[in-house]
Amino acid sequence: MTKTARAFTNIALIKYWGKKNQQLKLPWTNSLSLTLDRFYTDTTSEIIDSDKDVIYLNESLLDEQKSKRIVNYLNNTRKQFGFTEHFKINSINHVPTSAGFASSASGFAALAASIDQTMDLKLTKTQLSILARNGSGSASRSIYGGFVEWIAGDNNENSYAVPIDENPDIDLEVLSVVVNQKAKKISSTIGMEKSVETSPFYPNWVKLVSSETIEIKEAIKQKDIQKIGEIAEHNAMSMHALTLSANPAFTYFEPKTVEIIHLIQELRQKGIMAYVTIDAGPNVKILGTHKSIEQVKTYLNNLSDVTTVVANIGHGIQYF
């Protein structure tokens, strides 16, 4: 029986923004995320009698161009583990583009888990995190549920995620606010490369991440949602400052993104506890309690052209 591997996506509270090794996807800094329950990828892999992999995404066969990244990944995995089998991969993304999340985190985490299962590699969670990272950096964190830290490391064996608290008893929700579903002009891979190479603030970012990671871990331990939100918002804004200070400068923000940032600042003045975090795109994620997120939603309903989806804390890798 072919088992399905399910991985959930995650939102970084301390962002991963810059690699010191492109091939292995070794980051310059640690990062820390929250796994979410609403968005996930289900993947199966079957061994086929062929010298080519066949990849289906959402039930459509991918052409050579579109399957290139996955086939390269499978080639590297075959080389690394010393097997020669090829696969029919079936991957269903329950990460609607309408929710404004990238699917590479859940996608590569589910693929790594599925290959481990099919080839009976018996990888530990740490080894699985490394294998997921080789596909996409943020995927290393989707092996675990709850709060997860990716330890930067400096080689392929010591760069992996560790769980901070997989089942936190905390009233924290994430509201995803979609302002634009178009594909971004500058991929995160290119965006982080430009930031590392040209932003004069990059060395400061490395220092900032190291202190904010310590602070947010303490806030998580204390279940201090206000502190978690303050740190996450500041960290996200600092990441976007790297794009604005790159040369040439660029930004993922659109007018609506800025409008929502201002709205959340105003709502805080009114006593509503909500904070923003933004990835490599224009969509905004809002952190708050169940009550404050309900309040934020009523204000956002007055804005035109935005859709919202609420997520709670999600699990690590599952098989069924």
User: Which residues of the shown chain bind ligand 2P0 in the complex (CB under 6 A)?
Assistant: 12, 15-17, 25, 31, 102, 104, 136-138, 188-189, 279-280
The smaller minimum CB distance to ligand 2P0, of residues 10 and 292, is found at 10
Question: Nearest distance from residue 278's CB to ligand 2P0, in Å?
Answer: 8
Strand ranges, E, within the chain: 5-14, 19-21, 26-27, 31-48, 54-57, 60-61, 86-94, 147-151, 160-165, 173-178, 274-278, 284-288, 307-311, 318-319
How far apart (Å, rounded) are the C-alpha atoms in residues 264 and 16? 24
Q: Which two tokens stand for residue 216?
A: 């947010």
- From the CB of residue 86, how many other CB atoms can be counted at a distance below 10 Å? 20
The smaller minimum CB distance to ligand 2P0, of residues 40 and 267, is found at 40
Question: Nearest distance from residue 167's CB to ligand 2P0, in Å?
Answer: 22
Q: Is 233 helix (H, G, I), strand (E, B) or coil?
A: helix
The smaller minimum CB distance to ligand 2P0, of residues 86 and 240, is found at 240
Question: Nearest distance from residue 16's CB to ligand 2P0, in Å?
Answer: 3
Question: Nearest distance from residue 211's CB to ligand 2P0, in Å?
Answer: 17
Question: Nearest distance from residue 142's CB to ligand 2P0, in Å?
Answer: 10
Q: Provide the CB-side half-sphere exposure for 115 (13 A, CA).
A: 28
Question: Nearest distance from residue 261's CB to ligand 2P0, in Å?
Answer: 16
Q: Provide the CB-side half-sphere exposure for 315 (13 A, CA).
A: 9
The smaller minimum CB distance to ligand 2P0, of residues 267 and 316, is found at 316
Q: CA dist 55 to 3, 50, 67, 87, 117, Å?
A: 17, 13, 7, 8, 17
The smaller minimum CB distance to ligand 2P0, of residues 30 and 292, is found at 30
The smaller minimum CB distance to ligand 2P0, of residues 45 and 138, is found at 138
How far apart (Å, rounded) are the C-alpha atoms in residues 6 and 152? 25
The smaller minimum CB distance to ligand 2P0, of residues 37 and 193, is found at 193
How far apart (Å, rounded) are the C-alpha atoms in residues 288 and 298? 14
How far apart (Å, rounded) are the C-alpha atoms in residues 257 and 182? 14
Question: Which amino acid type is present at position 137?
Answer: G
Question: Nearest distance from residue 95's CB to ligand 2P0, in Å?
Answer: 12
